[in-house]
Chain A
Amino acid sequence: LAKTTQPISMDSYEGQEVNITCSHNNIATNDYITWYQQFPSQGPRFIIQGYKTKVTNEVASLFIPADRKSSTLSLPRVSLSDTAVYYCLVGPNQAGTALIFGKGTTLSVSS
């Protein structure tokens, strides 16, 4: 399973764009990249998933370069409620595989 590396923490202000990068140098051909968000005292929840290039949904964008050895989660115009831990996972796009979380990135948004 591909190991992921993320910054431990990041700080931002309301209204700014935040980019969190995840390194996954040994990603396999059939691996997808998935990001989760976790608030205190809650289980993580899915944010976005991608395989290559760019994926955008209503809350975030995911940028994946051609070599797929890294990915960047982009949160546009963050608010205080975006303060959370963000996890990058790499694994096959199928149910039933061992999904391993890294240490995650703690994002703190201030006013």
Chain B
Amino acid sequence: NAGVTQTPKFQVLKTGQSMTLQCAQDMNHNSMYWYRQDPGMGLRLIYYSASEGTTDKGEVPNGYNVSRLNKREFSLRLESAAPSQTSVYFCASSGMRPGHTGELFFGEGSRLTVL
């Protein structure tokens, strides 16, 4: 049981390049999330998907696009990377677990540097 898996774990981009962060969960969760965490800061919600086929903006969606490919997978795309997008990106999922519905399960993070 891998939980939430993110790829790649590390990536260096040049300004203007594009890339996609992949996230997959094997817990049969309906909801998935993308957060970013800048050094020494808290997590900020970029986008989330309540269920397959739906996506919604979070706190900081500008510069990002997402795709809920199926129930397992939720990808985050940077179309034209900027240095301000240098951050650690965390994917999370949540489901209907008795006792604490809505509990977030996080991946290990993807560390992105934009030069």
Residues on B lying within 8 angstroms of A by beta carbon are 4, 29-31, 33, 35, 41-45, 48, 50-51, 56, 58-59, 90, 92, 94-96, 99-109
Contact = CB atoms under 8 A, between A and B. Distances in A.
Interface in A84-111: 85, 87, 91-104
A43 B31 contact: no
Interface of A: 32, 34, 36, 41-46, 49, 85, 87, 91-104
Contacts of A43: 4, 90, 92, 106-109
Contacts of A97: 50, 102
B88 to A, nearest CB: 8
Contact of A99 (B29, B33, B95, B107): B33
Given A43-B108, A43-B109, A44-B106, A93 B45 contact: no
Contacts, number: 78
Nearest to B43: A101
A101 B109 contact: no
Nearest to A97: B102
B29 A87 contact: no
A46 B103 contact: yes
A55 to B, nearest CB: 10
A95 B29 contact: yes
Contact of B42 (A32, A41, A45, A101): A101
B30 A98 contact: no
Contacts of B102: 32, 34, 91-95, 97, 99
A98 B103 contact: no
A87 B42 contact: yes
Contacts of B4: 43
A87 B42 CA distance: 9
B42 A98 contact: no
A81 B102 CA distance: 26
A93 B105 CA distance: 15
Nearest to B109: A43
